[in-house]
């Protein structure tokens, strides 16, 4: 009669040990996860799962192969596929891993819980052949991000910021830095940019401008908001785009003039980044691109903004819900067709 092991929870790059009878000759390994599994028949398994050196088996995500136990007593020593000094003693070591270049990032490739169990067979006992579980195979092929924060867009660096300019400001002056990109938080973008021209989507939820003109009777000021992808020193521009229509503000008799931009759906700016240009520490920067106002005299212009940078998707999100808080870092959302 076959023996079935306990179901165990898998942790990436961490060994899981199963104990069976030393008399078994075959084992069916049920990989109910989207990880790849290295298998070693013994307790002294290698420590590097990526290279594959010294491991006895490699199992695909969702795989349930029937494997010959290396070192089992039913084999002659010369027929064993891996020479070890001692026969099989009943210990099987499993280590889940992902190949080089694969990542689970924050949320990553998921299949619900990552589980594994074994069914062991004795000499002469009939055993069913292996197979695979398609749901887990698909989870490995597609980067599915799960875990919901209701009311948030799928992935972003969100912030509410305030800045101030005056008549001394140059034609273009930096207002805000709304995101810093690293492979840890924006791995998809770095992979896409290494492979070709990539896209970085920025969403503008709210912009408020307040002009205090301290020189009455002068002309107003006209400008747009410019979004740039810049290097970590904020001196080199990788890509730029103007996201908002021109703002025209004029105040009379020392009264302030205000302008609000709160669209029913966020305005989208797509920064087109040349292949290989994206570097760790690059910043998304918002600046005031002045078009007029040289004769305005003395003034103070206060800018407030809520904006978001999509850390995952190359295409513009078709479903964007409003942000639910300033400074929020939401989890991934299953309704987003780009990540599910």
Pair 320, 162: CB distance under 8 Å: no
Instruction: Output the pLDDT for position 336.
Output: 37
Q: How far apart are CA 5 and CA 30, in angstroms?
A: 10
Which of 169-173, 190-194, 214-218, 276-280 shows the lowest per-residue confidence on average (mean pLDDT)?
214-218
User: What are the sequence ranges of the domains in the chain?
Assistant: 3-141, 157-309
- Distance, in Å, from the CA atom of 177 to the CA atom of 202, rounded to the nearest integer, reads 12
Of 27-31, 256-260, 289-293, which has the strongest mean pLDDT? 27-31
How far CA 290 is from CA of 220, 266, 285, in Å, comes to 11, 23, 16
Q: What is the mean pLDDT of residues 29-50?
A: 89
Q: Give the residue ranges of DSSP H helices in the chain.
A: 134-141, 187-195
Distance, CA of 206 to CA of 216 (rounded, Å): 28
The CATH code belonging to domain 157-309 is 2.60.120
Task: Say which range, 14-28, 31-45, 307-321, has the weakest mean pLDDT.
Answer: 307-321
Confidence label for 192 from pLDDT (cuts 50, 70 and 90): confident
Q: How much is the pLDDT for 111?
A: 46
Q: With beta carbons less than 8 A apart as the criterion, state whether 309 and 161 touch.
A: no
- Cβ contacts of residue 284 below 8 Å, gap of 6+? 157, 177, 178, 179, 181, 200, 202, 227, 228, 229, 230, 271, 309
Smallest CA-to-CA distance from 330 within 305, 306, 302, 311 is with 311
Predicted model pTM:
0.51
Which residues does 222 contact at the CB level (< 8 Å), separation at least 6?
A: 246, 247, 248, 249, 290, 291, 292, 293
> What average pLDDT does the chain have?
75
């Amino acid at each position: 009669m076959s023996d079935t092991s306990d179901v165990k929870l898998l942790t990436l790059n961490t060994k899981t040990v199963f104990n069976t009878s030393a008399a078994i000759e075959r084992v069916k390994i049920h990989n109910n996860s989207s990880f790849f599994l290295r298998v070693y028949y013994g307790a002294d398994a290698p420590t590097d799962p990526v290279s594959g050196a010294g491991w006895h088996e490699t199992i695909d995500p969702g795989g349930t192969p029937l494997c010959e136990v290396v070192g089992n007593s039913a084999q002659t020593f010369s027929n064993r596929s891996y020479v070890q000094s001692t026969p099989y003693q009943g210990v099987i070591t499993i280590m889940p891993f992902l190949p080089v270049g694969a990542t689970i990032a924050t949320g990553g490739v998921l299949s619900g819980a990552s589980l594994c169990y074994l069914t062991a067979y004795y000499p002469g006992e009939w055993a069913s052949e292996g197979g695979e579980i398609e749901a887990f195979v698909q989870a490995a092929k597609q980067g599915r991000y799960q875990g919901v924060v209701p009311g948030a867009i799928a992935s972003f660096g969100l912030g509410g910021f305030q800045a101030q300019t005056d008549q001394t400001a140059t034609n273009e002056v930096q207002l805000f830095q709304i995101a810093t990109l690293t492979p840890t938080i924006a791995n998809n973008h770095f992979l896409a940019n290494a492979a070709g021209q990539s896209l970085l989507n920025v969403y503008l939820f709210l912009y408020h401008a307040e002009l205090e003109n301290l020189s009455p009777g002068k002309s107003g000021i006209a400008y747009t908001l410019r979004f740039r992808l810049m290097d970590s020193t904020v001196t080199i521009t990788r890509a730029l785009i103007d996201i908002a229509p021109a703002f025209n503000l004029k105040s009379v008799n020392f009264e302030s003039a205000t302008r609000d931009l709160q669209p029913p759906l966020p305005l989208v700016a797509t920064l087109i980044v040349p292949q290989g240009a994206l570097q760790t520490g690059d910043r998304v920067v918002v600046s005031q691109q002045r078009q007029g106002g040289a004769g305005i005299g003395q003034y103070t212009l206060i800018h407030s903004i809520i904006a978001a940078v999509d850390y995952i998707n190359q295409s513009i999100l078709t479903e964007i819900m409003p942000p639910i808080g300033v400074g929020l870092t939401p989890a991934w959302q299953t309704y987003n067709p780009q990540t599910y």
